[in-house]
């Protein structure tokens, strides 16, 4: 590993609570932060050589790592954040924060990313799960995506080849590792763009518990309904397991009130699923990815 990456970007027994927005999770056996695609590929080769499972993360905003940690290599994309503008076309690294891209687009008077202003993830994570909010989705502005496939080859996908669906994509289905993406944006008026971003950010602040650690929406939206409505109608807001709580502000947010463990969140999620199913006959599915060992 030392010959593949500078030692300061390789850590051992790194607490994943430092790298997830829920602020829970045991240690990663090996934690790597590459700064280039070449370093990313080198780390993957090391993992393959030593037969290590690999978990690729961005901002850790849609992730719950169990208390036993992750036995293998965790690859963080956060330093893969290069951004190159060419008028309304922008190419970015997978680790660039989505909010950063949205604000840079606004400054250049390009529209199409207003919905993303408050989404707390990276470009790679957003594409992987086709993130969206307030009527917008990342699939609406993606032009091309570059990824590393299971054979270690860099592949390019056009927007039509990405297989976007509700909170999914071909990258999630095939476990391809996103490296870079290109977006196509339209020229707009700065006042309108900034006004819409401010409006959506105000909505988020009013309706979401942004002051507490969370993973964003914890459950997927069931067909024809909303997870938050079902959880609220089941009378579960304020329900706690250890330091984890169903938010009293937004029922589809499970928040860390302090000192929560991954087990607290999993126990609370199980309670929510069982109670909602018992009352409405709808079995909620977690949107948050759960990894690691108990």
Single out the catalytic residue among 167, 169, 182, 247: 167
Please indicate whether residue 155 is annotated as part of the active site. Answer: no
Distance CA 122, CA 99 (A): 8
Is 167 among the catalytic positions? yes
Which value, in Å, is the radius of gyration of the alpha carbons in the chain? 19
Helix (H) or strand (E) holding 195: helix 190-207
Examine the residue annotation and report whether 139 is marked as an active-site residue of this protein.
Answer: no
Q: What is the distance between the alpha carbons of residues 99 and 133, in angstroms, rounded to a whole number? A: 13
For 31-68, what is the HEC assignment? EECCCCHHHHHHHHHHHHHCCCCEEEECCCCCEEECCC
**Catalytic: which of 61, 214, 217, 247?**
217
CA dist., res. 40 & res. 28, Å (int): 17
Tokens representing 130 are 């086709």
Q: What is the rounded (10 degree) CA torsion for 136, 137, 139, 140?
A: 0
Q: Which two tokens stand for residue 44?
A: 């993957």
- Residues noted as catalytic: 167, 217, 287
């Amino acid at each position: 590993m030392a010959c593949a990456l500078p030692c300061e970007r390789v850590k051992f027994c790194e607490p994943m609570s430092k790298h997830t927005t829920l602020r829970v999770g045991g240690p990663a056996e090996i934690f790597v932060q590459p700064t280039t695609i070449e370093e990313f590929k080198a780390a993957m080769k090391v993992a393959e050589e030593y037969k290590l499972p690999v978990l690729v993360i961005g901002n850790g905003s849609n992730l719950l790592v169990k208390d036993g940690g992750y036995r293998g290599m965790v690859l963080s994309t956060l330093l893969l954040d290069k951004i190159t503008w060419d008028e309304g076309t922008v190419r970015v690294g997978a680790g660039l924060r989505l909010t950063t891209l949205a604000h840079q687009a606004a400054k250049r008077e390009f529209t199409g990313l207003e919905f993303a202003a408050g989404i707390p993830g990276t470009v790679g994570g957003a594409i992987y799960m086709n993130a969206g909010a307030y009527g917008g989705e990342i699939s609406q502005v993606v032009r091309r995506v570059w990824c590393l496939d299971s054979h270690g080859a860099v592949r390019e996908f056009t927007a039509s080849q990405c297989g976007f669906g509700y909170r999914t994509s071909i990258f999630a289905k095939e476990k391809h590792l996103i490296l870079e993406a290109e977006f196509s944006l339209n020229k707009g008026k700065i006042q309108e763009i900034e006004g819409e971003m401010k409006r959506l950010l105000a909505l988020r602040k009013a309706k979401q518990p942004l002051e507490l650690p969370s993973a964003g929406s914890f459950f997927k939206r069931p067909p024809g309904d909303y997870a938050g409505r079902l959880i609220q109608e089941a009378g579960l807001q304020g329900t706690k397991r250890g330091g984890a709580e169903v938010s009293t502000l937004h029922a589809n947010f499970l928040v860390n009130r302090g000192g929560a463990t991954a087990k607290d969140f999993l126990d609370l999620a199980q309670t929510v699923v069982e109670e909602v199913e018992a009352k409405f006959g709808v079995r909620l599915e977690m949107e948050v990815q759960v990894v690691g060992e108990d």
